[in-house]
Structure 1
Amino acid sequence: MAAASSSGGGGAGDDHEPYLLGFIVSKIVGMRHYTAKVAGRENVNLVREPLNPYDGNAIAVHNGRNEKVGHIPANVAKALAPLLDSDLLVAAHGIVPRTDSRINRDDFKPHMLPCQVHLFARPDAAAVVEVALYEAELDLIHPNHPEFALSQSAAVMERTKKADRDVDKLFSLVGGKEGKARIDPMEAPGDVVLSELFDHQKEALGWMVHREESGDLPPFWEETEDGVFENVLINQKTEERPPPLKGGIFADDMGLGKTLTLLSLIGRTKARNVGVKEAKRAKRRRVEDAGEGPRPTLVVCPPSVFSSWVTQLEEHLEPGSLKVYMYHGERTRDKKELLKYDLVLTTYSILGTEFEQEDSPVKHIEWFRVILDEAHVIKNSTARQTKAVIALNAERRWVVTGTPIQNSSFDLYPLMAFLKFQPFSIKSYWQKLIQRPLEKGNKTGLSRLQNLLGAISLRRIKETDIGTKSIVELPPKTVLECCIDLSAEEREIYDRMELEVKNKMQEFGDRDSILRNYSTVLYVILRLRQLCDDVSLCPLDVKSWLPSNSLEDVSKNPELLKKLASLVDDGDDFDCPICLSPPTKTVITSCTHIYCQTCIVKILKSSSSRCPICRRSLSKEDLFLAPEVKHSDEDGAGNPVSDRPLSSKVQALLKLLKTSQNEDPSSKSVVFSQFKQMLILLEAPLKNAGFNILRLDGSMSMSKRLQVIKQFAHGGPDSPTVLLASLKAAGAGVNLTAASTVYLFDPWWNPGVEEQAMDRVHRIGQKKEVKVIRLIIKDSIEERILSLQEKKKQLISSAFGKKGAKGDKEMRVEELRMMLGLDKGRPAGCWW
Structure 2
Amino acid sequence: MVEERDPVDVFMSLDRWPLSPLEDEEETDTVAAREMYMVGFVIVNVVGLQYYTGSISGREIVGLQREPLNQYDSNAIKVLNTRSVQVGHIERSAAMVLAPLLDANVITIDGIVPKVARQGNRYKLPCQVHIFARFEAFEIVKSAITNGGLYLIGENNPSFTLSEAQVVKEKRSTLEGRDVDEIFKLLDDKVSKKEELKPLEPPKNIIKSKLLLHQNEALWWLVQREISEELPPFWEEKEGNYVNVLTNYSTDKKPEPIRGGIFADDMGLGKTLTLLSLIALDKCGDVISSIKSGHLSSQRDDGLDEEEDTWAASFSKRNRRGTDSRNTDISRKKQKTEQIHTLHVKGKTVFSPDRRSANSNSGPTLVVCPPAVFSTWTSQIEEHTKPGSLKSYIYYGERTGDASELENYDIVLTTYSILASEDTWIDSPIKKIEWWRVILDEAHVIKNANAQQSRAVNNLKANRRWAVTGTPIQNNSFDLYSLMAFLRFEPLSIKSYWNSLIQRPLAQGDEKGVSRLQVLMSTMSLRRTKEKALTGLPSKSIETFVVELSGDEREIYDQMESEAKKIVNQYISSDSSMKNYWTVLSVIVRLRQICVDSALCPADLRSLLPSNKIGDVQSNPQLLEKMLSALQDDEGIDCPICIFPPTNGVITCCGHIFCKSCILKTIKRAKACCPLCRHPLTESDLFICPPEASNAANSGSSSTASSKVIALLKLLVASRDESPGRKSIVFSQFRKLLLLLEEPLKAAGFKILRLDGSMNAKKRCQVIKEFEIPAPEGPTILLASLKASGAGINLTAASRVYLMEPWWNPAVEEQAMDRVHRIGQKEDVKIVRMIARSTIEERILELQEKKKLLARKAFMKKSSQDQREISVNDLRTLMHL
- Secondary structure of the residue aligned to 2:250 is strand
Instruction: Confirm or deny: 8 A CA contact 1:294 1:340 kept in the other structure.
Output: no
Shift of 1:538: 0.9
Instruction: Confirm or deny: 8 A CA contact 1:565 1:629 kept in the other structure.
Output: no
How many residues are matched?
Answer: 779
- Secondary structure of the residue aligned to 1:478 is strand
Is 1:512–2:525 an aligned residue pair?
Answer: no
Is 1:255–2:268 an aligned residue pair?
Answer: yes
- Secondary structure of the residue aligned to 1:723 is strand
Instruction: Confirm or deny: 8 A CA contact 2:40 2:153 kept in the other structure.
Output: no
CA distance in 2, matches of 1:682, 1:562: 26
2:517 to 422, 440, 449: 449
Instruction: Confirm or deny: 8 A CA contact 1:413 1:430 kept in the other structure.
Output: yes
- Secondary structure of the residue aligned to 2:463 is strand
CA distance in 2, matches of 1:386, 1:130: 36
Shift of 1:223: 1.7
Change (3 A) 1:583 1:413: farther
1:128 to 129, 141, 144: 144
Q: Deviation per CA, 1:684-738, whole angstroms, max 9, x where unpaired?
A: 0000011111111111122221211111112252211111010232120011111
Instruction: Confirm or deny: 8 A CA contact 1:439 1:809 kept in the other structure.
Output: yes
Q: Deviation per CA, 1:106-146, whole angstroms, max 9, x where unpaired?
A: 643xxxx7573725254322332344456xxxx98999999
2:277 to 258, 264, 270: 264
CA distance in 1, matches of 2:696, 2:864: 45
Change (3 A) 1:61 1:328: farther
Is 1:662–2:716 an aligned residue pair?
Answer: no
* Root-mean-square deviation (Å): 4.0
Gap runs ≥5 in structure 2: 1-15, 19-33, 291-329, 335-354
2:624 to 561, 573, 576: 561
Is 1:807–2:871 an aligned residue pair?
Answer: no
Q: How does 1:243-392 map to 2 (within 5 A)?
A: 243-272=256-285, 294-392=362-460
Instruction: Confirm or deny: 8 A CA contact 1:376 1:401 kept in the other structure.
Output: yes
Instruction: Confirm or deny: 8 A CA contact 1:439 1:808 kept in the other structure.
Output: yes
Query: Which amino acid counterpart does residue 639 of structure 1 have in structure 2?
Result: G
Change (3 A) 1:157 1:271: farther
Change (3 A) 1:432 1:476: same
Is 1:707–2:766 an aligned residue pair?
Answer: yes
Query: Which amino acid counterpart does residue 129 of structure 1 have in structure 2?
Result: I
- Secondary structure of the residue aligned to 2:700 is coil
Q: Deviation per CA, 1:350-407, whole angstroms, max 9, x where unpaired?
A: 1111111111122232222111110100011111110111121222111110011111
Q: Tell me the TM-score normalized by structure 2.
A: 0.80
Partner of 1:212: 226
Query: Quick one: higher RCO (CA 8 Å, sep 6+), 1 or 2?
Result: 2
Change (3 A) 1:142 1:270: farther
Gap runs ≥5 in structure 1: 3-13, 465-469, 823-832
Q: Deviation per CA, 1:389-448, whole angstroms, max 9, x where unpaired?
A: 112122211111001111111111101111111121111111111111111122111111
Partner of 2:192: 179
Partner of 2:814: 755
2:834 to 770, 775, 794: 775
Partner of 2:42: 22
- Secondary structure of the residue aligned to 1:24 is strand
Instruction: Confirm or deny: 8 A CA contact 1:670 1:742 kept in the other structure.
Output: yes
Partner of 1:631: 693
CA distance in 2, matches of 1:576, 1:818: 29
Partner of 1:683: 742
Instruction: Confirm or deny: 8 A CA contact 2:625 2:689 kept in the other structure.
Output: yes
CA distance in 2, matches of 1:509, 1:83: 19
Change (3 A) 1:215 1:160: closer
Query: Which amino acid counterpart does residue 415 of structure 1 have in structure 2?
Result: L
Shift of 1:609: 6.8
Instruction: Confirm or deny: 8 A CA contact 1:249 1:457 kept in the other structure.
Output: yes
Shift of 1:502: 3.0
Is 1:480–2:500 an aligned residue pair?
Answer: no
CA distance in 2, matches of 1:274, 1:204: 17
Partner of 2:26: none
CA distance in 2, matches of 1:266, 1:537: 47
Instruction: Confirm or deny: 8 A CA contact 1:382 1:579 kept in the other structure.
Output: no
Partner of 1:40: 57
CA distance in 2, matches of 1:386, 1:84: 21
CA distance in 2, matches of 1:471, 1:779: 38
**Alignment identity in percent?**
50
Partner of 2:707: 648
Query: Which amino acid counterpart does residue 678 of structure 1 have in structure 2?
Result: L
- Secondary structure of the residue aligned to 1:223 is strand
Shift of 1:17: 3.2
Shift of 1:515: 4.6
CA distance in 2, matches of 1:811, 1:634: 40
Query: Which amino acid counterpart does residue 729 of structure 2 have in structure 1?
Result: V
Residues 545-554 or 741-750, more deviating: 545-554
Q: How does 1:512-531 map to 2 (within 5 A)?
A: 512=575, 514-531=577-594
Partner of 1:196: 210
Q: Deviation per CA, 1:564-622, whole angstroms, max 9, x where unpaired?
A: 2123211236688999997788664423355789799999999997896xx78434568
- Secondary structure of the residue aligned to 1:653 is helix
Residues 453-462 or 600-609, more deviating: 600-609
Partner of 1:535: 598
Change (3 A) 1:749 1:742: same
Instruction: Confirm or deny: 8 A CA contact 1:590 1:622 kept in the other structure.
Output: no
Instruction: Confirm or deny: 8 A CA contact 2:282 2:362 kept in the other structure.
Output: no
Q: Deviation per CA, 1:732-752, whole angstroms, max 9, x where unpaired?
A: 001111111111011111110
Instruction: Confirm or deny: 8 A CA contact 1:486 1:648 kept in the other structure.
Output: yes
CA distance in 2, matches of 1:223, 1:705: 54
Shift of 1:260: 0.7
Q: How does 1:55-66 map to 2 (within 5 A)?
A: 56-57=74-75, 59-66=77-84
Q: Tell me the TM-score normalized by structure 1.
A: 0.84
Shift of 1:319: 1.7
Instruction: Confirm or deny: 8 A CA contact 2:172 2:179 kept in the other structure.
Output: no
Change (3 A) 1:142 1:584: farther
Shift of 1:674: 0.4
Q: How does 1:60-139 map to 2 (within 5 A)?
A: 60-67=78-85, 81-87=99-105, 90-91=108-109, 93=111, 101-104=116-119, 107-108=122-123, 114=125, 116=127, 118=129, 120=131, 122=133, 123=138, 124-132=140-148
Query: Which amino acid counterpart does residue 817 of structure 2 have in structure 1?
Result: M
Q: Deviation per CA, 1:205-257, whole angstroms, max 9, x where unpaired?
A: 11111111121111122222x22222222222222222111111111110000
Q: Deviation per CA, 1:322-370, whole angstroms, max 9, x where unpaired?
A: 2222211122222222222222211111111111111112223222211
Query: Which amino acid counterpart does residue 129 of structure 2 have in structure 1?
Result: H
CA distance in 2, matches of 1:305, 1:625: 35
CA distance in 2, matches of 1:66, 1:603: 34
- Secondary structure of the residue aligned to 1:299 is strand
- Secondary structure of the residue aligned to 1:652 is helix
Query: Which amino acid counterpart does residue 372 of structure 2 have in structure 1?
Result: S
Shift of 1:48: 3.4
Residues 379-388 or 175-184, more deviating: 175-184
- Secondary structure of the residue aligned to 1:776 is strand
CA distance in 1, matches of 2:604, 2:396: 46
CA distance in 1, matches of 2:649, 2:559: 32
Partner of 2:560: 497
